[in-house]
Structures are given as C-alpha cells and as structure tokens.
Structure 1
Amino acid sequence: MIAEAGHYALVLALALALIQSTVPLVGARWRDPALMNVARSAALAQLLFVAASFAALVMLHVTSDFSVVNVFENSHSLKPLIYKITGVWGNHEGSMLLWVSILALFGGMVAAFGNNLPLSLRAHVLAVQAWIASAFYLFILITSNPFLRIVNPPIEGRDLNPVLQDIGLAVHPPMLYLGYVGFSISFSFAVAALIEGRIDAAWARWVRPWTLVAWIFLTLGIAMGSYWAYYELGWGGWWFWDPVENASLMPWLAGTALLHSLVVMEKRNALKVWTILLSILAFSLSLLGTFLVRSGVLTSVHAFATDPTRGVFILLILCIFIGGSLSLYAWRASALKQGGLFAPISREGALVLNNLFLTTACATVFIGTLYPLALEVVTGEKISVGAPFFNLTFAPLFLPLMLAVPFGPLLAWKRGDLLGAAQRLMAAGIAALIGVAVLWAWTGGGSTFAPLAIGLAIFVIAGALTDLAERTGLFRLPLSVSFRRARGLPRSSWGTVFAHAGVGIALIGIVCETTWNSEYIGSMKPDDVAIIARYQLRLDGATQRQGPNYREMLAHFTVSLDGERLATMTPSKRNFTTRGSTTTEAALLTRGFSQIYVSLGETAADGAIAVRIYHKPMVLLIWLGPVLMAFGGLLSLSDRRLRVGAPKPAKALGGLQAAE
C-alpha cells in the first residue's frame, strides 16, 4: 500500500499544480484577491503531497520492498542503511522525484515567506512555478514512475551501482538539485515581471535572496561532486570537463552573473533587461543539464537514463519553457524602463564587465559541450572536445576577470575613480609581486605561468582584504575604532570579502595541483618502496575483508618522510558480487593542504599490485575556496537588509514601477 499511496500522492500533487497554474492567473486578470490567494494554499498543499510521495519511496527502499521495480533495480537487503536512503536518488526515477520535491519546496517557501510580495506578483510567480512542476509531474507519471510494481516479486534486489555507494551521494545530488531547482524561482520572478510588464529595485530585492540560496547550494554541490569524483573514481583528478560536469558549471556561471546584476539593479535600478535575461538563462541552463543527464545522449558516470522516449519528453519541456520564456522576453523586454545611468568607470561598470566575462565564459563552455553532440546529430561524425579546448578558451577569459575583481568594490557607484582604486590596491599589487618573485626563486625558474597565476590569486585575496581595510579604516584610525566599524559593517560586505577571497584561494590550489603534481605508476610487491616528492611508501602486504555487500582487498602502505614513519595508508579494491563489478577505494593522507593519494589497479598472477601514487600539493585549497565562497553567500543571506520576505516598498513609490 505504501507504493500506491506514494503514487496517489504524486497524482494529487499534479492536480494541485494544475490548479495553482491557472486559478491565480485568472484572479490576477480579474483582480480578485481570493483567487490570487489560491496560489499560496495550493503551493503549500502541493509541497505536502509531494513530500509524502518522496517519503513513501524512501520507506520502500529502507524496508527493501523488492516488489517495487525501483527498489529491486537499485537496492539490496544487505546494503547499509545510509546507502538504502541515498540510493533513493541514485537512479533516474528517484532523482526526478527528489527534483520535483525540491521544486515544490521552493514554491512552498515563496508561499510561506512571500507575504510581503504584491499579491498579483506572488500569484504570477507561483503560477509559473506550477507550470514547471506540472510538466515534470507529467514526465514522472508518464515515463518515470518510481512506484511501478513487479507481478512476481524477487527475493533479492540487484543492488545500487557500487560507484554510488558512497557518502558523497548523500550530499552531492541534493545540494546540486537545490542549486539547479533554486534558479526556478528567479526564472518564475522574471516571467512574472514580463507578464506584468513591471520591474524595479524592489523586484531585485525580492529575487536576490532566492538566487543567493540557489547559488550557495550549487557552489557546494559542484565542489562536493568534484571531491567525490577525486577520491571515489580512483583517477586522482578533480575536473574532467565531462559534459555533465559542464552542465552544472554553466548555470553556476550564469547565476554568478545574475547575482552581480541584481546588486546593480537593487542599488541603482539599472540593468533591468540584462537581469531578466540572466534570470531566464540560469534556469534554462539548469533544464539543459537535466536533459543531458536523462536523455540518453551522454554516457557518463553522472548519466541516469538511456531511454530516448524520456529524452524526447524532456526536450519538449525545454522547448516550451526556454523557447516560451525567451519569446516572451523578446516581446516584452522593450517595454521595461532602463533605470539609472552610470559612467563606464564605476562600480556598475565593473559589475557589467564582470558579467560580460562570465557570460562569455559560459557561452564557451556551452559551445564546447554541445557542439560535438550537434555535429554527431547532423553529420554522424563523432569528435571529442576536452581539456585542451577548454583550457585554451576558458582560462584566458577568467584571467582578466580575476584581475578586475579587486577593483569593483573600491569604485564608487555611478562614477568611480580608477586611479584612486589602483592606488588603494598598491599594497595588494606589491604582495602579488613578492609572491611571484618568491615562487620564481623557489621553483628555480621552472614554469612561468604558475608563479604569475598564483601572484594573480594573491592579488585577488589581498584586494578583498584591502576593501575590508578601507571600509573599517584599518591603519588610518585607532584600532578600537576600526574594530567597531568592522562589527558594524553589513554582513553582505563581509560576504563579498569571503567570496572573492575564496576565488583566489581556489586558484592557488588549482595552479599548485596542476603544476607541481607528482605521480608514480607501477606494480609493487610486498616490501617494495615507491619514492615520490621525498615521501617513501612501502607496501607491507595485502589482506582480505568481508563487507556488508562486498568483498574487499586492502593494501597496507607505510608512509615515511626522510626515514621518519608518518602513517599507514590502506587503499582497497571492492568486489560487489551482486552487480558483478569492482570499485577502487583510494587512500588519502593529508599533510597541511596537500595530500598523498594511493589507488589500486589489478593484481597480477605473481602477486604484484598495480598502484597509482600521487603527491598533490595544496590540492585541498581547490575545495576550500568554494566553501569560503558559499560561506560568503551565507553571510550575505543573513544580512538584515536582505531578508527572504523583503519589505514592501513605500506606498508613495507606488509599488513596482509601471512600464512605459
């Protein structure tokens, strides 16, 4: 009965979404408050039913009910409880149910916390949100029902893909979906504004918290996915430019540009048309990622589906929502007032420059990702676009962007002083030059690019600290006064400092890992010693161990530095008999921000074990940077001036600005 109840709850959620997508629009047309308020109650009820449906699927997995196809194909009675739960979204059907659950969650949050929104705007936003929900409910019920029964239930399940049996699956997909789906709120606000033909700074103030929430989760989701691939797949890399990885990077780039554009709109009531377009593009790119993962056009560790029928359905959803929103944009955008003007050298100008670089970088990734797929469809020819293309196109766009980042916060609104900002950044520039000189001397004149790139990262970090010092009067005022000013700074200012510094820290990690990474690849027998970056790793032997639903071979390495024993590392190979597959469990030894990484290959007939050993200097900074960026986003979100329920504009201002 649990499966039937979950299915029925999903059908009821669809019915409520259809009501939510139509009745409030009629109410807005007739200016009937009662009909417009239907959106709020329908959104909350829809959230309740889809949550019940998701809870039902979780219960089926936890109880190992193999009479349900989804449980049979993706679970096993011996699987640990944590993986029974995370296995719910480790497959196509379950992950789509999580997707719509998060969509309903965001809609419910707008309904619950959007009481200060103008009634007609809230009605339109929730109606658009319901359009999206209705399409995906239909997609699930028609092509991807997670509650299908098996007529003759088997005794045991087929188990979850062993690669996905990792704690990373408990964190990475939900965070990624919270980011992907979170941009639907920005999209709904944009479409609602186009329908009403009205937009102003108050609109930006309402949209910005939702965009910030989505951006924070997407940042953490991408970082967690990168780290999961790094330690779980045994290859030692942290980014492969896989099309599905790119599909998460593109909405992140568009969302970052959108956040900066919203700041300009909120402060100066400018860039309205640009902000609306970015709101549409951020979620459109999220939908594109959904299509790539679930259409069967890609074969990847990230991809779920290979059924062309599903791909056609999602492609239809893409055409309706992306094509429809862009058509509405083309029709209505010219009716929006442009707002305040500003000089090219100003904080607004710096943010526009930032957006141009971000959107161009996003377009580069878009072309590099989709061009091979389009070429194969049109000509049947298969080509591969990988790291060389992206390194030659993406990196040159980010270097000038990084150079410009410290200048933006130091420029005044409307008209800035570039020379004055450069003078205030003099100390940051000197710190960067010193860093370049020290690295050049330390590396013995090796790579020229690496010291320069790290110098640029130091400039970004020091520039963020310079902005903080300027705001607090550090070194100009007594320390007690600076401390009081620091405590009184808006949290969004602190958030900007952490976010920008996080970018610089991530760049240091990327450059160090890619430039000074050392590796040892070979076969080792017991008592053999591998030497890498002054570390000695001796293979002591291998043992066998039985896990809950796998058998594991562990290799034992003693790690020493200059003859002094440091630790023991135990990488392993796991054999999952139910699935008939093996996984590599890498061993990591952290030293500061650097790591030693050991993964195992096959065992030869003579007992020799193939091993990969890496020394990755400063590699943890690659993920510490995004964590700091997300923390900066959280600080901004907690700013008392930036609440989810933004205050109503003064009545004298007449609410939203009327269109021309």
Structure 2
Amino acid sequence: MAAEIGHLSLWLALAAALCLSVFPLIGVHRNILALQWYARPLAWVQWLALTLSMVCLGYSFYINDFSVAYVANHSNSALPLAYRLSAIWGGHEGSLLLWGWMLGGWAAMVGVLSRSVPLHMVARVLSVMGMISVGFLLFMLLTSNPFDRVLPWFPLDGADLNPLLQDPGLIIHPPMLYMGYVGFSVAFAFAVAGLLAGNMDPAWARWARPWTTVAWSFLTVGIALGSWWAYYELGWGGWWFWDPVENASLLPWLAGTALIHSLAVTEKRNMFRAWTVLLAIIAFSLSLLGTFLVRSGVLTSVHAFANDPERGTFILAFLSVVAGGALTLFAFRSSALTNNKGFKPVSREAFLLGNNLILLTATFVVLVGTVAPLFFEAMDLKISIRSPYFNGFFVPLTLVLILLMVPGVFSNWKRQDGNGLLKRMALLAPAAIIAGWFAARLPEPSPWQGVLAIMLALFLVFAHVDDVVRRARAYGQGFFTGLGKLGRGYWGMVMAHCGLAVMVAGITLVSFHEVERDIRMAPGDQASIGEYAFVFDSLDSYVGPNFDSTRGHFHVTYQGEPEAIMHPEKRTYHASGQIMTEAAIDAGFWRDLYVAMGEPLEDGNAWAVRIYFKPGIRWIWLGALMMALGGALALSDKRYRRQRFATSEEGVSHES
C-alpha cells in the first residue's frame, strides 16, 4: 500500500508542478494577482507530495517490501537499518526522487523566505522552478519509477545494497551533493525570471546571492565528503582521481564559485550583469550535465548509478531544453544587460573578473577532459584522458588564481591606487617567500612546484591577516573593538579564502611527500617507512551483520615508541559475494598512517599489503570545511538577517 501511495503522490506532485509552471506566469502576463498568489501554495503542495513519496519509499525499505523492484534491487533483510534507509538514494530511481524532493524543498523555501521580493518576481521564479520539476517528475514517472512492483513473483530477499555504499560517509554524501546541485536552480530561476521581466537591476543579484551561497556551501561539503569516502573506503589511498563522476561535481562548483563573486559585483556596482546571468545558466546547466553523466551509462565509474542509454537520452533532451531555452532568452536580452560604465582596470571588480576568467578556463579544461573521450568513442576511437592532462592545466591555473586573489583582497571598489596596492603587496611578498621556503622543506625539501604553491598559499593568508589588522585599526576605537565591528560577511570571505590556502597546502604536502609501499607480509613481519615501523601481528575472523571479515592486526611504532594499533579488513558480503577492502587509518593533524590488505598470497598466510605515510592530507578536508563554513558565516551577516531580500541597495564594503 505504501508504494501505491508514494506513486500517487508523485503524480500529485507533477500536477502541482504543472500548475506552478503555468498559472503564475499567466497571472504575471495578465496582471492577475490571484494567479500570482497561487505560486507559493503550489510550491508547498508540490514539496509535501514529494515528501510523502520519500516517506513511503523509506517505509518500504524499513519493512523489507521486496515486491517493490527498487527495494529488491538495493536492500536485503540482513542490511543494517541505517543503510536500508540510506538505500533510498543508493540507486538510480531513488536518487532521482531525492533530487526532485530537494528541488521541491528549495522552491518551497523560496516561497517562504521571499516575502520582501515583489510578487511578480516570486511568481516568475517559482514558475521556472516548477518547469524544472515537471521535467524531472516526468523522467521519474515515465522511465525511472521507484515504486514499480514485481508482482506476482517477487524475491523472498533482496539483492543487497552495493557494498561500496554501505558506509557512513555515503549516508550523508549524496544529500549534501544534491543540495548543492539542486540549489543552483534557484540562481538559475532568478536569472531567467529577470530575463523574462526585462529588468536586471542590482536587486535580482541581491535576491539570488544568499541562495547561491547556500548551494555552493552544500556542494563544497558534498565534494569533500566524496573525496573523504574515496580515500578510506576504496582501499587505494587516493583522495581524487579525476574520475568522470568526480569531475561532474567539480564542474558546477567551479562555475558556482565564479557566480558568487560575480553576483557581488552586480549587487554592489551594477556591473557584469550579462556575465552574472550567463554564469547562473552555466552553473545549473553543469549540474544537469552531471546528472546526465552519472545516470546515462555513457561512462564507467564506481560512482555511476545507472547504465541505461534510453534514460540518458531523456536527460540529455531535458538538458538541451533547459540550457538551450535559457541561452536563447539570454541572447534576446543581452543588449539590455550591458552596463560596465565606470569600470577601472585597477579595482576590486577588475580582479574579481580576472579570477572569474581563470575559474571558467579551469571549468572548460575539466569539461573537455571529461566529455572528449565520449565524443571520440562515438566515432569508434578509444582515448583515455588521465591525471597528467588535468594536473598540467589545473595546477597552474589554481596558482595564478591565488596570486590574483591577493590584490583583490587589498583593492577597493570603483578605483584602487596602483602604487599603494603594489606597496602593500611588496611588503608582504618577502615574508611569504621566506616562510614558504622554510615550510616547503618540511618534512623534507619539496620540488620547486611545491615551494611555489606553499609560498602563494602563505601569501594569501598573510594578505588577509594584514587586511584584518588594517580594517580593525581603521575604526579608531581600539584593535579588538574594531575586530568586533567587522561584518560576518567579511569574516566569511576571510575564512573561505584561508580555507583554499589550507587545502592547497594539504594537496602540496601529500602530493610531493607521501610514501607508499606495496609489500608481501605475513604475521610476524615488519615493514618500515622512515622512522615508522609497521608490524603485522596476527589475523582473525569477524562476522558482521551481513558480511564475513578477515581482519589483520598491526601495531606501529615511531622511533621505537608505540604509535598506533591498526585493523585493516577484507570483507566478503553474504548476498552478493562481493569482496571489499576496508583500510585502517590512523589519522592525525600532521599525517595519516594507512594500511590496506590486498589479496592473500601462497597458502593464505601471507598477504599483499599496502602501507602509506600521508603528510598533511587532513588539511585538504579541513580547507574544504573552512570554505563551506565561510559561506555559512557570510549568510549570517546582519544585512541578510535584517532584510534578506531588501529591494533598496545596501553597502557591502567588507564583502568580496
């Protein structure tokens, strides 16, 4: 019964989305306020219907209703309850339902938190979001219904959830990632609504900016969680592999980062309006492209959900309609968007434009490297684009980006004195060079690329320290009093930029100084990395809720002193028979020790063992967390809390 209620709720949500797509726009066109007022309640009806569908699917997993095809394919009676519930988004159909539910939730929240936005704009925005919902709901109901039954013959037990997804990180990683993906639909909807209205004054940027920041923060956390999961769950010790699905999440993040900064310029200076609208379209279009790549079956990845080209064709057509329609509308309105009067080549907006160009170049590089093999495969040509291509472009672009961020931090809006800017940078550069030189020699000397990266990361941090001190003193009421007067938006910018510096430092350390050994070990054997000694003590067996495990016991010493006890595993899952590696990690702020058991050798007493020493790897995820928290802190700024969507212009002197 739950499946039927959930299925009916999907149709109800589709009906609400269709009404939301049509009636508010008619109301705007004919100036009928009653139809415009329907936008908010229709958004809520849609979301409540989708919420009921989510609850029904979750209940089907909870009671092990294997007559539902999706439950039978992605669950098992022995599966722990937490993973049974997270299996809601563990496969193609359920992940689409999560996507649609979040899209409905974003629309409902826009309706609630946009009381100060003119009604005609709210009606347009929610109508555009309704159109997007129609596309996804039709996709679900026609090709990917999570409530399809397998009656009268259904399995007595399920096929089990993919063992790769039976992990705490995968309980929260997809929702965070999708919140970011779907959240960019709000900026897209505001941009399209502004184009429809023919009025792109700074107010629309002020309305769209907080929503974009929320989406970007969630996407940052989602990508970091995916990287963290790949690191400890896949057993290969990597945190980023330039996998096509990893790239699919990075693409909208890069475009979204550019969008956030472009919105700041449009809001403050009423400039780059066409550029900002185009970035909003690109960011959401890349989110849809990621959905296509993950669910079409056109690529192979441990992250991919589906292998059905017919479904991929539907998503590709939907992407073409959404992106193509928005770009066509943009082309018709572009002449009215140009307004760059007063632009100066030395100003904050000029440096933000430069950074945006670098971010878009990086986006293009990643996009080409991800989709080019697909085009060549369509012509029966097999090519593979690996890390050397991505790193060869992406790393230099990142370093140039950081270098441009420093004058951007120091510069004023409208106009900046070039001599004063050079003087401030010249005072900090020697400190960054000296500190970076010494820091890059720990734990041992880095190649010149690593030295340069550490220097630039420190240059960015020193620039923010200098800027904070100068701003606090400028209030003339005491240093600590001045610190308290700096807005949360400013502190959010500082935290996010310093988070990038921390991430770059972590990537540099682990890239140039990690040590890996693949060796044969039997109980009683010892292997060393530097002054760390790894001793293989013993093996035993362990029976889990739905798997059997062979567990190794290692102890690690550092300079002869006890350092860690580690227990890597090799698990065999009952339902699927799939064998999984569970790495053991001793985590620390400065370094990680990592042990993974490969395959048994000879008579089963000896094993192929991989051990790592990974300095600074935790800084990668710490930096990502700092960036996301920076976005959250900026959102808590009093100007957003006081009048989140004010139509009158407010100062943003402390925001980037």
**TM-score of the superposition, structure 2-length normalised?**
0.96
Contact 1:347/1:415, CA 8 A, preserved across alignment? yes
* 1:550 aligned residue (522, 526, 547): 547
Question: Which residue in 2 is equivalent to 1:297?
Answer: 298
Tell me the secondary structure at the aligned position of residue 639 of structure 2.
Answer: coil
The 10-residue stretch of structure 1 (213-222 or 419-428) with the greater mean CA deviation from structure 2: 419-428
Question: Which residue in 2 is equivalent to 1:450?
Answer: 450
Question: Which residue in 2 is equivalent to 1:610?
Answer: 608
Give how far 1:422 is off. Answer: 3.2
1:628 aligns with 2:629: no
Give how far 1:426 is off. Answer: 4.2
Question: Which residue in 1 is equivalent to 2:120?
Answer: 120
Question: Which residue in 2 is equivalent to 1:260?
Answer: 261
- For 1:491 and 1:194, locate their aligned partners in 2 and report how far apart those are by CA, in whole Å: 31
Tell me the secondary structure at the aligned position of residue 595 of structure 1.
Answer: strand
Give how far 1:394 is off. Answer: 1.4
Question: Which residue in 2 is equivalent to 1:390?
Answer: 390
| Residue type of the alignment partner of 1:249 | L
- For 2:4 and 2:81, locate their aligned partners in 1 and report how far apart those are by CA, in whole Å: 23
Contact 1:297/1:306, CA 8 A, preserved across alignment? yes
* 2:533 aligned residue (508, 518, 536): 536
- For 1:424 and 1:514, locate their aligned partners in 2 and report how far apart those are by CA, in whole Å: 32
Question: Which residue in 2 is equivalent to 1:330?
Answer: 331
- For 1:184 and 1:263, locate their aligned partners in 2 and report how far apart those are by CA, in whole Å: 18
1:584 aligns with 2:585: no
* 1:619 aligned residue (604, 609, 617): 617
Which 4+ stretches in 1 moved above 6 angstroms? none
After superposition, where does 1:111-510 map in structure 2 within 5 Å? 111-151=111-151, 152-338=153-339, 340-377=341-378, 379-439=379-439, 447-473=447-473, 481-510=478-507
Structure 1 residues 458-488: Cα deviation after superposition (integer angstroms, max 9, x where no partner) = 1111112222112112xx898x711111111
Structure 1 residues 358-401: Cα deviation after superposition (integer angstroms, max 9, x where no partner) = 11111111111111111111x21010011000111111211111
Contact 1:92/1:304, CA 8 A, preserved across alignment? yes
Structure 1 residues 86-139: Cα deviation after superposition (integer angstroms, max 9, x where no partner) = 111010000000000000000000111111111111111000000000000000
- For 1:644 and 1:303, locate their aligned partners in 2 and report how far apart those are by CA, in whole Å: 43
Unaligned runs of 5+ in 1: 652-660
| Residue type of the alignment partner of 1:649 | T
Contact 2:272/2:338, CA 8 A, preserved across alignment? no
Question: Which residue in 2 is equivalent to 1:565?
Answer: 562
- For 1:577 and 1:105, locate their aligned partners in 2 and report how far apart those are by CA, in whole Å: 38
- For 1:119 and 1:560, locate their aligned partners in 2 and report how far apart those are by CA, in whole Å: 67
- For 1:468 and 1:437, locate their aligned partners in 2 and report how far apart those are by CA, in whole Å: 24
Question: Which residue in 2 is equivalent to 1:657?
Answer: none
Q: Residues 201 and 600 of structure 1: is their aligned pair in 2 closer, same or farther, counting only changes over 3 Å? A: same
| Residue type of the alignment partner of 1:213 | V
Contact 2:492/2:634, CA 8 A, preserved across alignment? yes
Contact 1:206/1:645, CA 8 A, preserved across alignment? no
Contact 1:117/1:646, CA 8 A, preserved across alignment? no
Q: Residues 477 and 135 of structure 1: is their aligned pair in 2 closer, same or farther, counting only changes over 3 Å? A: closer
Structure 1 residues 209-246: Cα deviation after superposition (integer angstroms, max 9, x where no partner) = 00000000000100110010000000101110011111
- For 2:590 and 2:391, locate their aligned partners in 1 and report how far apart those are by CA, in whole Å: 24
Contact 1:209/1:643, CA 8 A, preserved across alignment? no
Give how far 1:428 is off. Answer: 3.4
Contact 1:115/1:645, CA 8 A, preserved across alignment? no
Tell me the number of residue pairs that the alignment of Structure 1 and Structure 2 aligns: 647
Give how far 1:67 is off. Answer: 1.0
Q: Residues 233 and 564 of structure 1: is their aligned pair in 2 closer, same or farther, counting only changes over 3 Å? A: same
Question: Which residue in 2 is equivalent to 1:526?
Answer: 523
Q: Residues 442 and 633 of structure 1: is their aligned pair in 2 closer, same or farther, counting only changes over 3 Å? A: closer
Q: Residues 576 and 425 of structure 1: is their aligned pair in 2 closer, same or farther, counting only changes over 3 Å? A: same
- For 1:320 and 1:446, locate their aligned partners in 2 and report how far apart those are by CA, in whole Å: 49
- For 2:548 and 2:206, locate their aligned partners in 1 and report how far apart those are by CA, in whole Å: 55
| Residue type of the alignment partner of 2:321 | I
Identity of matched residues, %: 48
Give how far 1:431 is off. Answer: 2.7
- For 2:642 and 2:546, locate their aligned partners in 1 and report how far apart those are by CA, in whole Å: 45
The 10-residue stretch of structure 1 (313-322 or 333-342) with the greater mean CA deviation from structure 2: 333-342
- For 2:559 and 2:514, locate their aligned partners in 1 and report how far apart those are by CA, in whole Å: 19
Tell me the secondary structure at the aligned position of residue 568 of structure 1.
Answer: strand
Structure 1 residues 534-553: Cα deviation after superposition (integer angstroms, max 9, x where no partner) = 10010001100000000011
Give how far 1:567 is off. Answer: 2.0
- For 1:477 and 1:275, locate their aligned partners in 2 and report how far apart those are by CA, in whole Å: 33
- For 1:101 and 1:375, locate their aligned partners in 2 and report how far apart those are by CA, in whole Å: 36
Tell me the secondary structure at the aligned position of residue 335 of structure 1.
Answer: helix
- For 2:402 and 2:409, locate their aligned partners in 1 and report how far apart those are by CA, in whole Å: 13
After superposition, where does 1:60-139 map in structure 2 within 5 Å? 60-139=60-139
- For 1:554 and 1:421, locate their aligned partners in 2 and report how far apart those are by CA, in whole Å: 59
| Residue type of the alignment partner of 2:178 | Y
Contact 1:21/1:128, CA 8 A, preserved across alignment? yes
Unaligned runs of 5+ in 2: 650-656
Contact 2:488/2:633, CA 8 A, preserved across alignment? yes
- For 1:431 and 1:586, locate their aligned partners in 2 and report how far apart those are by CA, in whole Å: 40
The 10-residue stretch of structure 1 (41-50 or 414-423) with the greater mean CA deviation from structure 2: 414-423
The 10-residue stretch of structure 1 (641-650 or 334-343) with the greater mean CA deviation from structure 2: 641-650
- For 2:118 and 2:241, locate their aligned partners in 1 and report how far apart those are by CA, in whole Å: 45
Q: Residues 178 and 604 of structure 1: is their aligned pair in 2 closer, same or farther, counting only changes over 3 Å? A: same
